[in-house]
Structure 1
Amino acid sequence: MKIILIRHGMTEGNLKRRYIGTMDEDLINTDCLKGDYPKCERVVASPLKRCIQTAEYIYPNVDIEICDKLKECDFGDFENKSYEDLKDNPDYQKWLDSNGELPFPNGETHEDFKNRCKEGFFESLTERDTAFVIHGGSIMAIMQKLFGGNFYDYQVKNGCGYEFEMRNGEIVDDYSPIGCG
C-alpha cells in the first residue's frame, strides 16, 4: 500500500511563526497546496480544522476519517507564542537547551506526543493506499519511528510531505518528498 503524509496548509499562526498545537485555526490560503499529490483510496486526518480543510482541498472526492491521536503536540504555556514572545522566558530557554526534549510547561511531553502519533498511525493502517493529512510534528514522529534518525530530520513546509510503500506494517521502499509544487 502507498502511504502519503502531508502537512496541512498555511495558517495565520504558521505565517507568524508561532507554536500552534491544539489551537484550531483555519487555513488562510491554499497557495502551498498546488502540488501534484499522489492519488489515494482513503484519507485520514487530524480532527483540527486546518487538516480537515487541507484534506478536503487536496482530496475532494475521498471521505475523510478522523484520528484524534494524530493531533499536533500540546505546547502548553508556549501555545500561540513565537520565539520573540518567549525568548526571555527561562522555561523556554531550558526547553531550547534540551533540544526540545523537556516537557512543555503545562503541556505534553515529547515522548508522549511521539508515542501517541505512532499509535494513531499504526491503528489507522489498512491495506489501502492512504493519505494522512496531519501536522508537521506528527509527520516527524511517524517518520522517525519508521526510518530512524533525528526527529527534526523530517521537518516539512506546509503542504509538503513524504510518500513511501508499506506491506503488512513494514516499509517496502525508501521515502520520497511530495507536495510544495
Structure 2
Amino acid sequence: MADFISVTLLRHGITKANQEKRYLGWTDVPLVPEEMERLRAAQDFGKQFDLCITSDLLRARQTADLLCPELERIEIKDFREMNFGAWEMKTYEDLKRNASYRAWIDAPESQAPQDGESFLELQQRIDAGFQQLRQKAYRRQSKNILLVAHGGVIRYLLTSLMEEKKSFFDWKVSHDAGVRLTWEVDDWEEARKCISLQEVPLTVRGSG
C-alpha cells in the first residue's frame, strides 16, 4: 500500500488592508479582531496536521497560532507575499493613473512594481522556501503539513506543483479553505508533481 505526504496551502486570515483591497506585501499588519475569533473557533481544522510552517509575517503567524495552538510552528521568510515596493498599501484607485503601474498590470510577469520585487524574484524565493519545507518535513518525518502563507505564494505553488496547466492568475485563493496537495512518497522524494488536489474548508466559515 502506497504511503502519502500532503501539504495543505492556506491563505492567512483577513486584515484591514485586505478588506480595503490594498496591495499588501511585506507590510506587517495584524488580523482584524473578528477574524481572530473566527479562526479561534476553527481549531479542529488544525488538529489534522503534524507540522505547521508559515511565512514570518504577523498575519500568517497569527493565523497559524489560532488554528494550531499546540503544534510546532516554523517560520520561513521566503514564503512572504510579493514586495510591492512603492505600491504597498495603495489601492487600484490610488494607482490607476500611474504609467508604471499600468504597465505592470498589463504585463506582471515581465514588469516589476516600482522599487519592488519582480515575478522572477518571487518565483525563485518561493522555490527556495519550498526546498526548506521539504527539509523540515524530512527531518521530522512529517506526513501532513500545513503551510500558512499568502495569496501570491499559494498561486505560484499551485502553478509549479500541479500537473494541471493553469496560469498564476487563474487560481482562486480563498481565506476560507485550504488546498491539500498530495504525493506518493516516491514522487515527493523525487520532487515530482503532486498526484491530487483537494479543497479543505475551515470548520467554521466566515462571511468575510
Matched, 1:94 2:98: no
**How much does 1:2 deviate?**
1.5
What residue number does 1:16 align with?
A: 20
Equivalent-residue separation in structure 1 for 2:126 and 2:38 (angstroms): 24
Greater Cα shift, 150-159 or 27-36: 27-36
Match of 2:167 among 150, 162, 166: 150
**How much does 1:100 deviate?**
5.1
Matched, 1:170 2:192: yes
**How much does 1:174 deviate?**
1.5
Greater Cα shift, 73-82 or 143-152: 143-152
Equivalent-residue separation in structure 2 for 1:135 and 1:164 (angstroms): 16
What residue number does 1:26 align with?
A: 30
Matched, 1:115 2:124: yes
Equivalent-residue separation in structure 2 for 1:32 and 1:139 (angstroms): 21
In the superposition, the TM-score normalised over structure 2's length comes to: 0.80
Equivalent-residue separation in structure 1 for 2:133 and 2:77 (angstroms): 11
Equivalent-residue separation in structure 2 for 1:32 and 1:62 (angstroms): 19
Given that 1:32 and 1:159 are in contact with CA atoms closer than 8 Å, whether structure 2 keeps it comes out as: no
1:33-112 matches, cutoff 5 A: 33=39, 37=45, 39-99=48-108, 101-112=110-121
Give CA-to-partner distance per residue, 1:76-101, whole Å, 9 cap, x none. Answer: 11110010111111111111111454
Give CA-to-partner distance per residue, 1:138-176, whole Å, 9 cap, x none. Answer: 111111111142011223122433102122233452211
Greater Cα shift, 100-109 or 152-161: 152-161
Taking only aligned residues, the RMSD between alpha carbons, in angstroms, comes to: 1.8
1:172/1:158 Cα in 2 relative to 1: closer, same or farther (>3 Å)?
closer
Which stretches of structure 1, 4 residues or more, deviate above 4 A after TM superposition?
Answer: none
Structure 1: 5+ residue stretches without partners: none
What residue number does 1:4 align with?
A: 8
Given that 1:22 and 1:74 are in contact with CA atoms closer than 8 Å, whether structure 2 keeps it comes out as: yes
Give CA-to-partner distance per residue, 1:14-55, whole Å, 9 cap, x none. Answer: 000000000001000326646663611000000000000000
Q: Which has the higher helix share?
A: 2
Given that 1:32 and 1:158 are in contact with CA atoms closer than 8 Å, whether structure 2 keeps it comes out as: no
Q: Name the aligned partner's letter for residue 105 of structure 1.
A: Q
Identity %: 27
SS of equivalent residue, structure 1 residue 175: strand
Count matched residues.
Answer: 181
Matched, 1:130 2:145: yes
In the superposition, the TM-score normalised over structure 1's length comes to: 0.91
